Amino acid sequence: MPYSYASHLKCPVCGNEYDLHEIHQLCECGSPLLVEYDLERLQQEVDIQLLQERKPDLWRYHELLPVASEDNVVTLGEGMTPLLNMPALGAHYGIDHLYMKDESLIPTGSFKARGAAVGISRAKELGVEEFAMPTNGNAGAAWALYAARAGMRATIVMPQDAPMITRSEVALAGASLYLVNGLISDAGKMVAEKVQRQGVYDASTLKEPYRIEGKKTMGLEIAEQLGWTMPDVILYPTGGGVGLIGIHKAMQELKAIGWITGSLPRLVAVQAEGCAPIVKAWQEKKERSEFWEESTTVAFGINVPKALGDFLVLRALYETDGVAIAVSDQELLQVQQEVAAMEGAFVCPEGAATFAAAKRLAVEGWIHPGESVVVLNTGAGIKYPDTVQTEAPILEIGDSIL
């Protein structure tokens, strides 16, 4: 039995197909490419029971991943993050079955590790020795560290406002780091020039087809952790949108294989009021979003003014009867406190935004009584020290706390 059942690359816009054995970035038509699998053969040959004996990381789903040989797997133990029950918070928000998929328990403290693990493994398999990418911080940190483990050279360009700690991660990994007095879109232009002029591999979001396959595993894990059933609703903080597209792809593949049945969960794209291009497009029932001018939010990971995969995000929302919703920075910072004080979890601002959205959707009645709701916390709150203000008395030796 093969390690991977990936069969080819396919363009979701024009339908063009590409060979898996060659390096491909975007389709000729400019669209991202997606990995297709031989799901019929997989269904016949792979027994779901096999999974039980495998290690608790995302490589347990290797048949549904694009890496052809186990020898090329570059891993730091990523995946199978906890799916936690949040009963106190659920009661407070009026959500009967509230779960958090906690992506803080992953190398580099962010779900970006999934994309990096699969993306770097596949790049290694294809013989890539050097790549460049723009990032809002966490993806660059993850790709730089996995690149170090793979022995690959990396150039990372990030806004100077990106979380400080992600600079340290990139630098410590030995990658080339550049800071831009601008947004990820400005960083993207610099990377594009380097790719075009120097021929290095372009690891930008959705410009290589494999990162999404890593992020897909969040959907696979949610299904397995719920005993191969689906929740009613999944909420996802949406910047580039690859996580949400990946979860949608996972659900479709699982359904095609027959490992899950019934309706797919209603997907919710959560954005910040200061950067909500997907929300605007969804409200206007459009197929694509427009560039969001002067975007700003403390949830830095979702400060993406225009996503290359916007049409795939919107498609996933329309197909699953989902919604797109924006929350304010004030709301999300308050919710970050609620989640810690009621459930003991220090979520990242993007995760907090997603809890805030769940709260609002429950109040508005869009989430119904009895429904099960999974909120994605995409990273560790400890990577964002500036979102929390603390005041504590400073005592001298011998003072009393009575």
Report the site for a copy of itself in 7-66 (rule: CB under 8 A). Answer: 52-53, 56-57
Residue 363 or 388: the one with the smaller Cβ distance to a copy of itself is 388
Instruction: State the distance between the two ends of the chain, measured CA to CA, in whole angstroms.
Output: 67
Please state the closest distance from residue 62 (CB atom) to a copy of itself, in A: 17
Instruction: Return the half-sphere exposure (C-beta side, CA atoms, 13 A cut-off) of residue 206.
Output: 24
Please state the closest distance from residue 141 (CB atom) to a copy of itself, in A: 8
Residue 189 or 368: the one with the smaller Cβ distance to a copy of itself is 189
Please state the closest distance from residue 66 (CB atom) to a copy of itself, in A: 20
Residue type, 373: V
The single residue among 26, 51, 190, 256 that binds a copy of itself, judged by CB under 8 A, is 190
The single residue among 95, 145, 242, 251 that binds a copy of itself, judged by CB under 8 A, is 145
Residue 39 or 150: the one with the smaller Cβ distance to a copy of itself is 150
The single residue among 6, 73, 180, 244 that binds a copy of itself, judged by CB under 8 A, is 180
The single residue among 147, 184, 212, 312 that binds a copy of itself, judged by CB under 8 A, is 147
Structure tokens at 401: 């706390």
By CB under 8 A, the residues from 254 to 293 that bind a copy of itself are none
By CB under 8 A, the residues from 79 to 138 that bind a copy of itself are 80-84, 88, 102, 104-109, 132
Give CA–CA dist 2/351, Å, rounded.
37
Query: The tokens 């360009």 sit on which residue?
Result: 157
Assess 341 for contact with a copy of itself (CB under 8 A): yes
Contact partners, residue 284, CB within 8 Å, separation at least 6? none
The single residue among 23, 26, 179, 256 that binds a copy of itself, judged by CB under 8 A, is 179
Pairing outcome for strands 201-202 and 130-134? parallel
N residues, the chain: 402
Map residue 321 onto helix, strand or coil: coil
The single residue among 64, 73, 191, 299 that binds a copy of itself, judged by CB under 8 A, is 191
By CB under 8 A, the residues from 351 to 380 that bind a copy of itself are 380
Report the chain's C-alpha Rg in angstroms.
Answer: 20
Please state the closest distance from residue 144 (CB atom) to a copy of itself, in A: 8
> What does the DSSP assignment read for 100-160?
EEETTSSGGGBTHHHHHHHHHHHHHHTT--EEEEE-SSHHHHHHHHHHHHHT-EEEEEEET
Give CA–CA dist 231/358, Å, rounded.
14
- Write the CA distances from 100 to 81, 83, 112, 220, 247, integer angstroms: 10, 6, 17, 15, 15
Please state the closest distance from residue 284 (CB atom) to a copy of itself, in A: 29
Residue 172 or 363: the one with the smaller Cβ distance to a copy of itself is 172
**Site size with a copy of itself, rule: CB under 8 A:** 84
By CB under 8 A, the residues from 192 to 211 that bind a copy of itself are 193-194, 197-198
Residue 253 or 343: the one with the smaller Cβ distance to a copy of itself is 343
